[in-house]
Amino acid sequence: MRILLHLLKTTIVYWTLLISCYSQLPELSSNEPIECDEATQEIILRGDAELSSDKALIKADEIRLNNETFNTTASGNVKINMNDLRLLGDSIQYNVSTETLNSQKFRAGNSPNYISGNSASGTLNDLSIQNATLLLAEPDCFSPTLCTSCVEIKNVHDDNIPTQIIARNVWFKVGCIPFFYLPYFSYTIQDIPFQIVSQLGDSKEYGPFIRNMILFRATPCLSAGALIDFYRDRGFLIGPAFKFITNCKNKETFSDFKSGFIHDQGTKNELGKDSVGRRTPRSRNFIEWYHQQSFSENFQITGQLRRWSDSNALRDFRPKLFNNDNDPDNFVEAVYTGPNYFLTAFTRYSPNNFQDVPQRLPELNFQLLPTPIPFTRIYQTINARIAHLHSHSPRHLHRHDKKHKNKRDNFTSDRLDIYYGLHTPFNYQDILTFTPTVGGQIDEYFYKNTSKGSYTRLRGQLGFDLQLNAFSQMDCTNGTWGINGLRHIVRPTLQYRFIPQHNSGRRLIPKIDRHIFTTNINPIDLNHQRDIDSAHAQHVARIGLENLLQTRSCNYGSRDLAYFNIYQDYYIKENRRHHHWSYLYSEFGLSPAYWINFSLYNRIDVRRPKLSELNTSLTLTDARFWTLNYTTSFLHKKAHSDENRLQHNLKATWYLTPLTHISGEGTYDFKLHKITKETYAIFTQFCNAWGAELQLTHRRKAVRESKWEVGLVFKLLPIHCNLVPIPLPL
């Protein structure tokens, strides 16, 4: 009887425990019967035991759950899944209520981040790991590895999803080989904490060399590091570098800084001369900094600093950066955007001694966009600028020009410009739009370098814009080209501007904002012209014809199949800059499918007549296998040139596998009747995290570069790009 009473008591206690905490306990399951230890108040599960709660899923050979404290002890092949984090170990303690855990010798990870350590403790939002090893890709012999004394995995959003990793006393290794030490750094999950690009090469100008750019994640927003190069014939180049990126709502920041400093040990012939004929100094450096920051929806700052010790500093040691933009521009601009106006503060400065740059130190601008005058159909436009201008040419900038020999231009001017314009559009059934316009501008010069003191100039304009709108639609389909109906839009345009006395007072004005040669069509509206100090009177009509061919898009709206636009100016009154008929400008584009894109731009001298400029580009793409780009550039000879300029460029890429592709690029010069540059490369991804590109370059008639150059580039690939071949710029 006593035995029966004891069994009944045990059964009642067992079921009472289960029923009393049923609403609080996680789901439990096991292959063997569930046991209850009355002395320890523990529920015991054995044999593929499983505990499932709102935050975690635990699997182990044995699980013990305390009914009072909700402490869970899992032992034997323990596996814990918590949101995006997976932990493995022999014995792990986890509290279902407080969501805290403690473990000895465990592994955890979420592809592509993997971590192991001697011990771990904390919560899902703040987990501390001692003597940890972090793998930034699938384990292999070249995996980037971080060995650290302490790692903290934090969740900055408090949603139990790990987002940030903080490490201290870190050794960075490739496989088992240590490379450098960091006392502290922090990075986010699904992001790689390092950016490493290394280029090994050999050339006649430098001898064997190695170029490195190494950035490590100091904070979730800041990556800091350096450019570290070695050239056998030139020496060491070292300079700090960093990237700063934030992406908050209406508050975005992007800052990219690179620099390099070297005491060049090359010979005088290797150093050569810069673009203005001066000897290249041995102490050479460059600074490249671009910064863009949004403080709100309405306020943004953009700045760029490109400071070179000489015109060839970047060209010699970072040729790819130089080829992207070989004319350094330095400016800072702050823009405040109102409902229908802009307030800007703009500064353009010249830290380089080999450029003649019109500097604005600074320029403040208020621009009122076209705004209707109340109770009228008239729109008003205001553009007010005040600037301190400075133009300074280096001493020997024009020393080869007899006209400017031993002359040093140094102009300073304080100028106030106020433009006020009125226009009113007249529409006729969406077919014709006629917009007469009238405007005037005041240019006030203060403290010029003349004996006449300040000077005021008044200018005005009278004109109109005329545009016709016509279109036709055709119901035709073509599955091959993805055409679902056609719409042809035609827009003939006519612009007329009369600006009398545009050149009044030109002899009294320092020529700072002067005419700049360009092969593109120039604006004719007074408000948009920037050659204020050297402007001429203008009486011109611009004729244009715009064509656009569209079809329905498979997603939404329409897509452009082709366009063809032509423009030409007729100067009613000739001047020394313009004859009656200007160049005939035309542009043509064709994109009937996603895999083909053709564009053309040309400029024709109708007085001769002759072709003055022709640029074409053809791109063919098969995303899975190959891409092909063919461009031509033709420029008619000028008075100082003895022959036309015509170059052809062909670039092709062939994807052998999803991880490997080969590419080639060549430029043919018709003047030399030779291929002036050939580049061949093969790219492959290896060991999950690294990309390598072997490059071979051959040049003819190069000014500073070597005839032959070979290079091997290694790059640590971004985590989210591990399976995508990407270019390797340095």
Per the model's pLDDT, the better-predicted residue between 60 and 19 turns out to be: 60
Quote the pLDDT of residue 103.
Answer: 85
C-alpha distances in Å from residue 238, one per residue of 122, 192, 211, 228, 286: 42, 24, 10, 5, 11
Task: Report residue 641's pLDDT band, with 50, 70 and 90 as the boundaries.
Answer: low
- CA angle centred on 570, ends 566 and 572, rounded to 5°: 165
Residue 156: other Cβ atoms inside 10 A = 12
Question: 477 Cβ partners below 8 Å, 6+ apart?
Answer: 483, 484, 485
Q: How far is CA 195 from the centre of its chain?
A: 16
Quote the pLDDT of residue 327.
Answer: 87
Highest mean pLDDT among 107-121, 146-160, 386-400, 552-566: 552-566
Amino acid at 412: T
Per-residue model confidence as pLDDT tens digits over 147-159: 888 888 877 555 5
Quote the pLDDT of residue 730.
Answer: 41
Quote the pLDDT of residue 722.
Answer: 36
Task: Report residue 587's pLDDT band, with 50, 70 and 90 as the boundaries.
Answer: very high
Quote the pLDDT of residue 461.
Answer: 94
Per-residue model confidence as pLDDT tens digits over 216-229: 888 778 889 999 99
Per-residue model confidence as pLDDT tens digits over 445-464: 886 555 566 788 888 999 99
Q: What tokens appear for 338 in the block?
A: 């109102």
Per-residue model confidence as pLDDT tens digits over 25-65: 678 888 888 888 777 778 888 888 888 887 788 888 888 88
Residue 665: other Cβ atoms inside 10 A = 16
Helix, coil or strand: residue 695: strand
Cis amide bond preceding 33, omega within 30: no
Tell whether the model's pLDDT for residue 640 goes beyond 50.
no
Distance CA 518, CA 344 (A): 26
Task: Report residue 181's pLDDT band, with 50, 70 and 90 as the boundaries.
Answer: confident
Quote the pLDDT of residue 237.
Answer: 96
Distance CA 685, CA 695 (A): 15
Quote the pLDDT of residue 4.
Answer: 57
Domain map (residue ranges) of the chain: 27-188, 612-730
Average pLDDT over residues 477-493: 90
Question: 500 Cβ partners below 8 Å, 6+ apart?
Answer: 460, 537, 539
% of the chain surpassing 90 pLDDT? 40
Residue 707: other Cβ atoms inside 10 A = 13
Average pLDDT over residues 9-26: 54
Highest mean pLDDT among 113-117, 315-319, 535-539: 315-319
Per the model's pLDDT, the better-predicted residue between 239 and 195 turns out to be: 239
Tell whether the model's pLDDT for residue 402 goes beyond 70.
no
Highest mean pLDDT among 4-18, 154-168, 244-258, 398-412: 244-258
Average pLDDT over residues 363-377: 94
Quote the pLDDT of residue 450.
Answer: 52
Q: Contact, 691 vs 717, CB < 8 A?
A: yes
Look at the domain 27-188 and name its fold.
lipopolysaccharide transport protein A fold (2.60.450)
0.75 surpassed by pTM: yes
Q: Contact, 308 vs 322, CB < 8 A?
A: no
Distance CA 490, CA 487 (A): 10
Mean pLDDT of the chain: 84
Cis amide bond preceding 208, omega within 30: no
% of the chain surpassing 70 pLDDT? 87
Task: Report residue 11's pLDDT band, with 50, 70 and 90 as the boundaries.
Answer: low
Q: How far is CA 567 from the centre of its chain?
A: 33
Question: 478 Cβ partners below 8 Å, 6+ apart?
Answer: none
- The burial class, CB within 10 Å (0-12 / 13-18 / 19+), for 528 is exposed
Per-residue model confidence as pLDDT tens digits over 673-700: 899 999 999 999 988 788 999 999 999 8
Quote the pLDDT of residue 21.
Answer: 47
Task: Report residue 24's pLDDT band, with 50, 70 and 90 as the boundaries.
Answer: low
